[in-house]
Amino acid sequence: MSLPNDSMDQREVPAAETGGDQAKKILIIDDDNEIVETLQFALETSGYVVVTARDGNQGIALAESESPDLIILDMMMPKRSGFLVLENLRRNREVPIPVIMVTGNEGNRHQAYAELLGVSDYIHKPFAMDRLLNAVKNLIP
């Protein structure tokens, strides 16, 4: 499956597939098609509803319109970085959405800043999918 860089994609998981409960919604904000598709597949297979944005501006718009239960946020993206997205989310929402920031950047300074902004978890790429899925389950049981 290949998605254009500027597309937004959402797939609903029937409630029957999630044990009758309302499926939790996760917003993925990342500009890397391969990562988005891999995360989307793993999360949907685990019973989550997934919405995707390909840049920070789309991510902020979808965070407002979709009210996700959790956001997976890349640090380096076009138009608006993950830090600027996180700053916006923390400044403009009364109740913070849990955010998992994923990055290929190894700098401790970036992680410290993300934590200062209230990131819920910080995961370095490449990562084991189990690491991410466990973080998701811990943040939105």
- The token pair at 48 is 């989550």
**What strands, in cross-sheet order, belong to the sheet with 121-124?**
10-11, 49-53, 25-29, 70-74, 99-103, 121-124
Q: Is residue 100 part of a domain?
A: yes
Q: Locate tokens 């370095």: which residue?
A: 124
> What pLDDT does 86 receive?
94
Longest CA–CA span in the chain (Å) reads 44
> How many distinct structural domains can be found in the chain?
1
> What pLDDT does 6 receive?
42
Indicate if the pLDDT at residue 22 is higher than 70.
yes
Q: Is residue 113 part of a domain?
A: yes
DSSP symbol at 101: E
What is the extent of the structural domain holding 31?
A: 10-15+24-127
- The token pair at 104 is 């290929």
Q: Give the global pTM.
A: 0.84
- Indicate the angle between helix axes 56-66 and 82-92, nearest 10 degrees: 30
CATH code assigned at 45:
3.40.50.2300
Q: Is residue 116 part of a domain?
A: yes
Per-residue pLDDT tens digits for 50-100: 999 999 999 999 999 999 999 999 999 888 999 999 999 988 878 889 999
Q: Is residue 71 part of a domain?
A: yes
